[in-house]
Structure 1
Amino acid sequence: MSENLLVTIYIPTFNRVDLLERAINSVVTQSYKNIEIIVVDDCSTDGTQEFLKEIAKGDERIKFFLKEKNGGACESRNIAIQNARGEYITGLDDDDYFLPNRIENFVSNLSNVKNSVLLFDNPIIKLDDRPIITKKRKIMNTLKPKKIRAKDLIFSNYIGNQVFIKTDILKKFGGFDKNMPMWQDIECWYNILVNTGGYGLSLNSYTYVVDLSHEMDRISNFKIEKGKKAFRCFSKKHSLSQQDSQLLFCQLYGYDKKLIKLGPLFEKLRRRFDLLIFLNTLKNLYLFFKR
């Protein structure tokens, strides 16, 4: 592992200073020390700006930007990306946190995955007082493809909300599209993979905690109308075929079972059979007939 490799971690934030403090602490205590932390505040009014000014005094690795106008998480991420100095970059939502070996795990795997465009691993979901990796989640993660190409993301967001990637690549393809009302992550990964023709590689590790236990809204809180608009934006931007659009639409089923149509589900199985898609299809069929 090369300690000379500078890694940037970007954190967009808005009015969650207590959670932000935990997120930053999880980064500054990483076992891999050659890091740059860029926090972009979206006009918080809860003392976030004062907190950032104070914490940056004690650690020169921490940098922050204070926006003059609220513009959303995508805009904040892109500000951080454009100002990143690290050769590699990864993100963290302000209500989530890293396990201590996350960056070390990515850097140590770089020598083994030279042909991949990006790396990612499995999230740990925190629903109450402690994060848990359930047996069901472990099984589902085992069934995911190890190499994810753009076409795979039409079926499911196998990658999740964070990746480890060369900063130049993320900059070259424009970062996150702020016109997307949600699905900004999957659209960003798809855009990169479809334009590079490369793949994302899944690591068999768990180093990122997604905290769903708090009462505050998540950055990408879901609403079905936002989902439908995101679907239309995605389909139009990438000129998806009618078949691929139908398959992408299936990703909305988990949020509203009234949307379920049998045709696209069967098309999923016809176009590409694997056990994970089959299990997801059975689940969606169950929801359909249970209505």
Structure 2
Amino acid sequence: MNKQTALPLISVYMPTFNRATMASRAIDSVLAQDYPNIELLVVDDASTDDTWHRLTNKYINDERIRFFRQSTGQGACAARNRAIAEARGDFVTGIDDDDEFLPGRLTSLYQAYNDKYSCVCSGYIWDYGTIQKQLYASRQVVALPELLDLHTLSNQALVKRDRMLALGGFDTSLAAFQDYDMWVRVVQAYGPALRIATPTYKVNVGHELGRITNSPKRLDAHKQFVAKHRLHMSERNLQNQMFYRQSMQHIVLTLPQLLSSSRYGLVKLKWRYYLKHKLGVLSRWRIKLFSKGLSGLFKK
């Protein structure tokens, strides 16, 4: 038995839409993994440009990749669900078309996997363009109560394919928070998740800075998410979800509100949010520095 067949097949799903160049970067990061037994399922969500043509022609000779095309745009979640349904692997994990796997990601996740965990994820890197920030780069077993406080896992996790299928995959009725909802349901059904400390995934957000994050659509989706999981939420969870909603709306906390909210945990996060608004100008300069470097501070 060779090394490849001795290890289970991991299926990586990736939706894409009108992002041929970024999608190529994401695909290349998957193909560069040292885990030897993988397949990559790319679902084009009815791109209106030349994405389909460019990707299928570029990777036509790589048998590890299978391409699918939606006849009409149905959104990233429907694309992910199609890929999971078509997957042949024992395990599945995902990548967004503007992100990257770091070297050794799949090996690290597989080596950490144990059936006592519902899924395994890792710390990740938030790349602003000129500056990178590590997030959740600490090992932790995350149970449902902690996860309902805050999404402390990752957008992507390694999970048994049959578990995803049993839960019906990603909820296409949600306009946002689909990954958070997915891992909440996985943890609820199959037990705590494991997060390993090593960051193995890069989220590229430099091209998205300035995007409106407090849109009515996103706020409505958060309300829908809380209503969906309300039965399993404690008063602590509800208070922390309320804080998260306030942060999306950029609502300034008073000091008494901060002290009251801190009774429910997430103290460091809440103090950072409070100070960010107190030092608003410095905070805006910080984001500008992250995205454009020192020279960007002096440009409008």
Give TM-score scaled by structure 2 length: 0.82
Amino acid at match of 2:267: F
Q: Does 1:99 align with 2:93?
A: no
Pick one of 2, 17, 29 that aligns with 2:32.
Answer: 29
Pick one of 7, 20, 23 that aligns with 1:20.
Answer: 23
Structure 1 residues 98 and 151 mapped into 2: Cα distance closer, same or farther (>3 Å)? Answer: same
Structure 1 residues 46 and 192 mapped into 2: Cα distance closer, same or farther (>3 Å)? Answer: same
Amino acid at match of 1:213: G
Q: 2:240 — aligned with what?
A: 247
Q: Does 1:182 align with 2:176?
A: yes
Tell me the distance in 1 between the aligned counterparts of 2:123 and 2:96: 15
* CA positional deviation for 1:54: 1.8
Q: Does 1:115 align with 2:104?
A: no
Tell me the distance in 2 between the aligned counterparts of 1:285 and 1:126: 24
* CA positional deviation for 1:188: 0.8
Q: 1:285 — aligned with what?
A: 274
Deviations 1:108-163 (A, max 9, x none): 223xx34111111111122225x63x4xx46x644xx7011122122211002111
Structure 1 residues 191 and 265 mapped into 2: Cα distance closer, same or farther (>3 Å)? Answer: farther
Tell me the distance in 1 between the aligned counterparts of 2:256 and 2:199: 35
Number of matched residues?
A: 275
CA contact (8 A) 2:26 2:99 kept: yes
Tell me the distance in 1 between the aligned counterparts of 2:97 and 2:260: 38
Tell me the distance in 2 between the aligned counterparts of 1:212 and 1:178: 23
Q: Gapped runs of 5+ residues in structure 2?
A: 281-300
Pick one of 166, 169, 178 that aligns with 1:172.
Answer: 166
Give TM-score scaled by structure 1 length: 0.84
Q: 1:57 — aligned with what?
A: 60
Deviations 1:179-225 (A, max 9, x none): 111111111111111223x011111111111111236998xx73431
Further displaced range: 57-66 or 238-247: 238-247
Task: Map 1:1-291; keep pairs closer than 5 Å.
Answer: 3-110=6-113, 113-129=114-130, 132=132, 134=133, 137=134, 141-142=137-138, 146-196=140-190, 198-214=191-207, 222-240=213-231, 243=235, 244-258=237-251, 260=253, 269-271=262-264, 273=265, 277-286=266-275
Amino acid at match of 1:224: S
* CA positional deviation for 1:44: 0.7
Q: Gapped runs of 5+ residues in structure 1?
A: none
* CA positional deviation for 1:265: 5.6
CA contact (8 A) 2:16 2:44 kept: yes
CA contact (8 A) 1:15 1:44 kept: yes
Tell me the distance in 2 between the aligned counterparts of 1:216 and 1:75: 26
Q: Percent identity?
A: 30
* CA positional deviation for 1:237: 1.7
Further displaced range: 169-178 or 249-258: 249-258
Deviations 1:216-255 (A, max 9, x none): 998xx73431232122211222234583333212223333
Amino acid at match of 2:39: E
Amino acid at match of 1:52: L
CA contact (8 A) 1:257 1:287 kept: no
Tell me the distance in 2 between the aligned counterparts of 1:233 and 1:4: 40
Amino acid at match of 1:127: Y
Tell me the distance in 2 between the aligned counterparts of 1:169 and 1:263: 44
Tell me the distance in 1 between the aligned counterparts of 2:87 and 2:252: 41
* CA positional deviation for 1:10: 0.5
* CA positional deviation for 1:103: 0.8
CA contact (8 A) 1:41 1:49 kept: yes
Which secondary structure does the structure 1 equivalent of 2:13 belong to? strand
Tell me the distance in 2 between the aligned counterparts of 1:280 and 1:28: 36
Tell me the distance in 2 between the aligned counterparts of 1:14 and 1:259: 36
Structure possessing the higher radius of gyration over alpha carbons: 2
CA contact (8 A) 2:124 2:137 kept: no
